[in-house]
Chains A and B, each alone.
Chain A
Amino acid sequence: MKPHILILGAGFAGHTAALHLSYLVRDKADVTVVAPNNRFTWFPSLVWVGTGTMREEETVFALKPVYDKIGVAYVDARAKIINLGTQTVTVEDAAGTPSDIHYDYLVNATGPYLNFEGTPGLGPATGNTTSICTVEHAVQTRERYLEVVRAAQAGKRGRIVVGVGHPAATCEGAAFEFLMNVHADLKQRRVRELIDLTWLTNEPDFGDFGVDGIEALRGGVLVRGASPVRMLLDEANVQAIAGAGVTRVEPGRVHYERVGDEPGSIAFDLAMLLPQFRGIPMQYIDATGTDVTAAMTLPSGFMRVDADYEPKTYEAYRANDWPALYRSPSHDNVYAVGIAFAPPHPISKGKKTGSGLAVVASPPRTGMASGIMGRTVAENIAMQVDGKTPNHHARMSEMPAACIASMGKSLWSGSAATIIMTPVVRDFERFPKYGRDVSLCDLDVGLNGAWTKRLLHSAFLWKLQAKPGWQLIPE
């Protein structure tokens, strides 16, 4: 009987793992993906859905036809219980009907739980803010945004606040993209002067993006990300507040504490604030039937893997703290990738407000990083299926990342920041001066970024649908 590889989740990490396993273990193992909604979402383009410059249909595709094509089974359900003793996962379909699926190898790629309740008053369902974390959220944001635009077109001034809604939130880059797209769209609609825009972020400084900043050599001179980001915010006439931890949101007003400053609040007509991410709530059971969730995960709900989770200060952070294989230390057939794995610590330096509130940008690990992890785990599981010891590694301290931050979708008048980091997490042992290979890092702002963002949208939707030649497009 062939071994069974079970992948929980079909985001960047899980879906990429499924694509690569489809040919790596062809005829040697069966692969099944469990994910709800039969839908893949290309999240990087939701910033355009939120401003009404892209239709939501252009950012999604159905998963099942893709899996049918590449010989992977698909189950439309959510994972609830991982039984490590019997090697089964209890899943629930949309109707709430449970069933058990056996696995020989398990990949937890369940992505984030959007912790809106972590901040009182935050969120689109029961709170007072919107988000662009899902297609539905982005559509809801668009409707609210267009109301503000219509009011401005009728001559009414408005206030839009964009940023993160929790002191330990992540994905500041995506929120920044949305901010700059709102600015570009308002300009195009000729109502920019009637709308006050505010950037509210938990980053210790502008351009940190949760990765301890970005930099590049320009004519032999090191340019740090804070300078161009400040310049862009100034040019766009955005009120910018860094080091801010949002504490609560009332209808029309967001309250925050700020590092090195008094607490403050801002009035808004629309607030798009990203929530904190936590692990998807799942129960882990061992062979004796004991609940071992606390041992398998951190309090954040993310799964422990081969990282060094010893608490340490920012100065003591090391490149090798980060996981290499993304494998559970106690179960060598269980992996966690993408947002589902527990990072050992932040990448950025956390700070505290006067009241002692810790404000720290959590590590982003979406997009390219998630894709690389998914591929790496697929390669390692394929080695295990062949009876070999897995040796593919992709620490975030040896992993590159390219990020295109859109600042207007138009291919003629749009713009974007192109950011290349090598590696994502600084490694001062390999690169003593800056922790990164700054000769390869890049930071560019211009029209060319708008072209690249559109190119990546089309290329990756091609790749992720396993269309001919998809393997030529790297993660």
Chain B
Amino acid sequence: MGLFWRRFLPLQIWRFLTLNVKMYRIARGWIGPGQGPHEKS
């Protein structure tokens, strides 16, 4: 990604929101590879 887009405020605000929501959902185990209280794989 070019330097302009790495500083372009609307895109950065959008990426901040979407990436943090994604990280939260993955960290909560709502999506993702699935560690958790299951039978040992």
Q: Which residues of A contact B (CB under 8 A)?
A: 228, 235, 320, 324-325, 368, 372, 376, 379, 391-395, 397-400, 402, 415, 418, 420, 422-423, 427, 430, 437, 440, 442, 444-448, 451-452, 455, 474-475
Per-residue CB contact flags for chain B residues 1-41 toward chain A (1 = under 8 Å, else 0) read: 10101110101110110011011101111011111111111
Name B's A-contacting residues (CB within 8 A). Answer: 1, 3, 5-7, 9, 11-13, 15-16, 19-20, 22-24, 26-29, 31-41
A-B pairs with beta carbons under 8 Å apart, 30 shown: A228-B1, A376-B35, A379-B37, A391-B37, A391-B38, A392-B35, A392-B36, A392-B38, A393-B41, A394-B36, A398-B34, A399-B33, A400-B26, A402-B23, A402-B26, A402-B27, A422-B33, A423-B32, A437-B32, A437-B33, A442-B19, A442-B22, A444-B15, A446-B6, A446-B15, A447-B6, A447-B9, A451-B16, A474-B27, A474-B29
Complex CA distance for A474 and B36, rounded to whole angstroms:
13
User: Within 8 Å CB of A394, what residues of B?
Assistant: 35-36
Secondary structure of the B side of the interface?
Answer: helix
- Per CB-CB distance, the 6 closest pairs between chain A and chain B, nearest first, are A474-B27, A448-B16, A394-B35, A446-B6, A423-B33, A448-B12
**Smallest distance from the beta carbon of B16 to chain A beta carbons, Å?**
4
**Could you say which residues of chain A place their CB within 8 Å of the CB of B3?**
235
Shortest C-beta distance, A44 to chain B (Å), equals 14
- Complex contact A474–B33 (CB within 8 A): no
Q: How far is the CB of A377 from chain B (nearest CB, A)?
A: 12
Q: Which residues of chain B are near A474, meaning CB under 8 Å?
A: 24, 27-29
Partner of A440, one of B20, B32, B36, B37: B32
Residue in contact with A391 in the complex, picked from B22, B24, B39, CB distance below 8 Å: B39
Determine whether the beta carbon of A400 is less than 8 Å from that of B32.
yes
Residue of B32, B34, B35, B38 with highest tally of chain A CB at under 10 A: B35
Contact of B27 among A235, A379, A446, A475 (CB under 8 A): A475
Please, which residues of chain B bring their CB within 8 A of the CB of A368? Answer: 27
Q: Which residue of B lies closest to A402 (CB)?
A: B23
Residues of chain A within 8 A (CB-CB) of B13 are 448
In the complex, the chain B residue whose C-beta lies closest to that of A412 is B7
Give bound CA distance, A474 to B1, whole Å.
Answer: 30
User: Do the beta carbons of A392 and B37 come within 8 Å of each other?
Assistant: yes
Collect the chain B residues with CB atoms within 8 Å of residue A427's CB.
33
Q: What distance in Å separates the Cβ of A170 from its nearest Cβ neighbour in chain B?
A: 21
Q: How far is the CB of A171 from chain B (nearest CB, A)?
A: 20
Residue from the set B3, B11, B29, B37 with the largest chain A CB neighbour count within 10 Å: B37
A372 touches B35 (CB 8 A): yes
**B19 lies within 8 A of A448 (CB):** yes
**Cross-interface CB contact of A452 among B5, B6, B20, B29, cutoff 8 Å:** B20
Given A427-B33, A440-B32; 18 other pairs, CB 8 A cutoff: A392-B35, A392-B36, A392-B38, A400-B33, A402-B23, A415-B6, A422-B26, A422-B32, A423-B32, A423-B33, A442-B19, A446-B1, A447-B6, A447-B7, A451-B12, A452-B20, A474-B27, A475-B27
